[in-house]
Structure 1
Amino acid sequence: MKSTQVQDPTHKKILLTSLSAMVAETTTFPIDITKTRLQLHSSSTTAKANAAASNAFKVAINIVRNEGFLGLYQGLSPAIIRHLFYTPIRIVGYEYLRGVVLVAQNQHSDAVSGSFSLSSKALVGGLSGVIAQVVASPGDVVKVRMQADGRLICQGLQPRYHGLRDAFSKIICAEGFGGLWKGVFPNMQRAFLVNMGELACYDHAKHLVIRNQIAYDNIYAHTLASIMSGLSATTLSCPADVIKTRMMNQTASKDGKLMYKNSYDCLVKTVKLEGAKALWKGFFPTWARLGPWQFMFWVSYENFRQIAGLSSF
């Protein structure tokens, strides 16, 4: 790991990170909407709906059958906007903090230059993710709401929102500006866990692969590292992801009541009504998305950096 990484132009990193995130998000979005629909499905639904939403494959087929192929991209625009903020902040932020910690370690200890423990990577990754998620949370709220609207269309009902601008406008009018940050705390918890698993694992795994000469710093090393980080991130973040999705999707009933008071209440009710396994509902499509997403992102990002003359991540 070179110390010159922190000296690479930040604006180039931001641009390349955003471009790579757009490529990855567009490619894997159909899996994301399938995961979201699975997580929103609860035990209170009818037996017919329960059978229709019993697994990811059936959910995806039903989306195409009832909403058309473009139904798989319902909510893509806010997802892209979210990643224009979320991904650059967490990736560039992680790399910057990693460089700062390395400099501090080398100045105040006899540690080997470039050494960075896995626990330190996990903490830096988690903190970078939390900061990024707070900034990008409005895009996440709109994305989840628009993804969930497809179920209303299937029932012959009008969707709550007719496009990105309409969604932002209605949420602010009905719930106030703070409504755009609904579910921000479970979202922060998820962001900490997923980035702790993703960034720390990718960084550690890639350098482990290279150091043990399993592969050079190329697409093979990036692929192996992205697979390992995807599995790690999914295992850690799936429960928080389920809670986050349900909290962000809920809206007040006519009498002003909400199904979940807070993330803890959502956690307790979910486990009580559906069992602990419900916290990993959508695990396979989540992992099936994170794996390809990270492959597309990291391979694109590493190659874009190389083309731009930047050092490896």
Structure 2
Amino acid sequence: MSPPPSSKDKSNSATARVLGSATAGISELAIFHPVDTTAKRLMSNSTKVTNMSQLNSVVFRNYANESIGRKFFSLFPGLGYAAGYKVLQRVYKYGGQPFVNDIIGTRFGKDFEDAFGQKTGKALMSATSGSLIGIGEIVLLPLDVLKIKRQTNPEAFKGRGFVRVMADEGLGLYRGWGWTAARNAPGSFALFGGNAFAKEYLFGLKDYGSATWTQNFVASIFGASASLIVSAPLDVIKTRIQNRNFDNPESGFTILKNMAKTEGLSSYFKGLVPKLLTTGPKLVFSFALAQTLIPAFDKVLAK
């Protein structure tokens, strides 16, 4: 009997997984937070942007007519929330997926191999474990909600700080959790699946952890692009749910209906091109960095 597909990968230590994914999250935040703010504001905008003047107003808002320096720093709202969310999210997602993959490999690895073949079965296990970890990501939803509101609708805070908002809003911060889970499941499946298929079929790797930085980077491009395209419609709805005022919420189905009625079906893919050009690189960067750093930290810790 052949071993389950996952047994061909060397398992890294929990410490290495946490350190590698946390470092990737911090690096991503430091470089790409302004880019993330830009993408969120474009997705939140419900009007057509047809010229540079309108684009300038949508992205920079009250600072549209200010100097370049003030415009740039206006793209850093919610940095504290973003730091908490991004680091925890990357540790959970990049560090947690290998744990789930190990469990699936141990219990169902032979089933995947028999059903899909050795190479495809191994890649699909990675995709499935990614999907499951993506669904569980809703635990961190309140931090994501606060980050997005700071980026797109700061007036919603009305001078309240983090603790006061948490106390006042309570479970309301989980509004849209169903849409978030629905968006994360296929998005994370595509992210880890696209990455695994590239390593398996493009580079012929038996042990994904042995990939070089270049291989991780290229594989991450496949995964990130697939993830962003698959999750785009639900991501737009999720963002619009989360950027509403706390006292004026709107359901995802209402948003879905109004978008189709007033903006057309193409509105479900609003911001996709900017997202591929902006969010795509940050996801590729952090995903590739985490996959490279985790085995590197493991080697250091083993000495």
Name the TM-score class by shorter chain.
0.7 to 0.9
User: Do 1:79 and 1:139's aligned partners in 2 also have CA atoms closer than 8 Å?
Assistant: yes
Say whether 1:237 aligns with 2:242.
Answer: no
Provide the C-alpha distance between the structure 1 equivalents of 2:184 and 2:111, rounded to a whole number of angstroms.
31
**Amino acid in the other structure paired with 2:183:** R
**In the TM superposition, what whole-angstrom CA distance separates every residue of 1:7-45 from its partner, at most 9, and x where no partner exists?**
4321321122111112113212222111111121114xx
Shift of 1:90: 2.2
User: Do 1:94 and 1:128's aligned partners in 2 also have CA atoms closer than 8 Å?
Assistant: yes
- Aligned match of 2:187: 194
User: Do 1:41 and 1:53's aligned partners in 2 also have CA atoms closer than 8 Å?
Assistant: no
Shift of 1:116: 2.6
- Aligned match of 1:74: 77
Provide the C-alpha distance between the structure 2 equivalents of 1:218 and 1:7, rounded to a whole number of angstroms.
17
Match of 1:303 among 292, 299, 303: 292
- Aligned match of 1:155: none
- Aligned match of 1:160: 157
Shift of 1:233: 0.9
Matches within 5 A, 1:69-218: 69-105=72-108, 116-132=121-137, 134-149=138-153, 160=157, 166-170=161-165, 172-173=167-168, 175=169, 177-211=170-204, 217-218=211-212
When residues 84 and 161 of structure 1 are mapped into structure 2, their CA distance, relative to the original with a 3 A threshold, is farther
Say whether 1:270 aligns with 2:259.
Answer: yes
Shift of 1:224: 1.3
**Amino acid in the other structure paired with 1:224:** V
Shift of 1:249: 1.5
When residues 168 and 235 of structure 1 are mapped into structure 2, their CA distance, relative to the original with a 3 A threshold, is farther
User: Do 2:60 and 2:75's aligned partners in 1 also have CA atoms closer than 8 Å?
Assistant: no
SS at match of 2:75: helix
Provide the C-alpha distance between the structure 1 equivalents of 2:280 and 2:132, rounded to a whole number of angstroms.
22
SS at match of 1:32: helix
TM-score (norm 1): 0.79
Gap runs ≥5 in structure 1: 153-158
Shift of 1:4: 7.5
Provide the C-alpha distance between the structure 1 equivalents of 2:197 and 2:259, rounded to a whole number of angstroms.
34
SS at match of 1:125: helix
User: Do 2:94 and 2:290's aligned partners in 1 also have CA atoms closer than 8 Å?
Assistant: no
Provide the C-alpha distance between the structure 1 equivalents of 2:263 and 2:201, rounded to a whole number of angstroms.
40
- Aligned match of 2:34: 30
- Aligned match of 1:248: 242
When residues 12 and 50 of structure 1 are mapped into structure 2, their CA distance, relative to the original with a 3 A threshold, is same
Gap runs ≥5 in structure 2: none
**In the TM superposition, what whole-angstrom CA distance separates every residue of 1:161-180 from its partner, at most 9, and x where no partner exists?**
55xx714523532x3x1122
When residues 167 and 104 of structure 1 are mapped into structure 2, their CA distance, relative to the original with a 3 A threshold, is closer
